[in-house]
Amino acid sequence: MHVLLLGGTTEARSLAGTLLRPGTPGLRVTSSLAGRVASPRGLPGEVRVGGFGGAEGMARWLREHRVDALIDATHPFAETISFHAARAAAATHTPLLAVRRPGWVPVEGDDWRPAGSLAEAAALLPSLGRRVFVTTGRTGLAAFASLDELWFLVRTVDPPEGPCPRRMELLLERGPFDLARERELLRRHRVDVVVTKDSGGSATAPKLTAAREAGVPVVVVRRPPVPEGVPVVPGPEGAVDWLAGLRNGGAEQGS
């Protein structure tokens, strides 16, 4: 059984390792990485890097490599590849599953301001603060580029692409981040507002706790929806069960 695993996320790495551990014969796993990170962490099994050329290119790859199951374990905000996967799966009649870690949930004391996009987040900032900590990734910073009256601390894994804010300090760091580090970061840079995407998970969640403790508002960009009709599980365990159902003759494919 050939499984194409779209990812590079913590969940994708965990799932690849689980599927290829000793005692699970008969599985071939190919992990596909977009190539956006310069030095991706190692993955077990076969690895391909780069785009497919849209939904049609992915469908062609599925056919040529005789893929039996497609698992979308990409970042919750990797909207384009998720929709390409849905179209390619439909075109080739390949079973498709999405793995999506649960989103963050505010707790007492949080001051969260929801936004539907980076542009909406940028529009909220002038009324919330003057020193902004942005953790939305290396793309999309153009949304903040016109806010010359604000100062930005931007944290990404790799250098950003496209226009950036004029008044900006860049931190090139990879999570996970601990709470003590996040507290010190907010204090040292006198951050008075945080901008993040609702990526979920524990690796970058300490900044939310640090912001709550400091009374700092957080602008949270809502994640895009999973393509309609695609079953979703919250983690690798659900994906393992889904694949077991396929291997056992097409049991129910999740919900």
- The two three-digit tokens of residue 68, written as one number: 């039996």
**pLDDT of 157 higher than 80:** yes
The Cβ of residue 200 has, within 10 Å, a number of other Cβ atoms equal to 19
The per-residue pLDDT for 40 is 56
Largest CA distance in the chain: 61
With pLDDT > 70 as the criterion, what percentage of the chain qualifies? Answer: 93
Coil, strand or helix: which one is 220? strand
With pLDDT > 90 as the criterion, what percentage of the chain qualifies? Answer: 79
- Residue with structure tokens 């706790």? 209
**pLDDT of 251 higher than 50:** no
The domain ranges of the chain are 2-102+224-247, 112-221
State which fold the 112-221 domain adopts.
Rossmann fold (3.40.50)
- Give yes or no on whether 2-102+224-247 and 112-221 have one common fold: yes
Residue 24's closest CA among 15, 35, 12? 15
Rounded to two decimals, what is the model's pTM? 0.86
Q: In which band, very low, low, confident or very high, does the pLDDT at 118 lie, cut at 50, 70 and 90?
A: very high
User: 2-102+224-247: what CATH class?
Assistant: alpha beta
The Cβ of residue 132 has, within 10 Å, a number of other Cβ atoms equal to 26
Query: Which pLDDT tens digit goes with each residue over 22-75?
Result: 766 688 999 999 866 554 566 788 999 999 999 999 999 999 999 999 999 999
From first CA to last CA, the distance across the chain in angstroms is 22
Q: How many residues does the chain have?
A: 255
The per-residue pLDDT for 161 is 84
Q: Select the more confidently predicted residue: 140 or 44.
A: 140
CA-CA distance, 105 to 154, in Å (whole number)? Answer: 23
The per-residue pLDDT for 45 is 84
The Cβ of residue 115 has, within 10 Å, a number of other Cβ atoms equal to 20
Average pLDDT (197-226) is 95
CB burial readout 167-180, b (16+ within 10 A) else e:
ebeeeeeebebeee
CA-CA distance, 24 to 156, in Å (whole number)? Answer: 37
Query: Which pLDDT tens digit goes with each residue over 207-221?
Result: 999 999 999 999 999
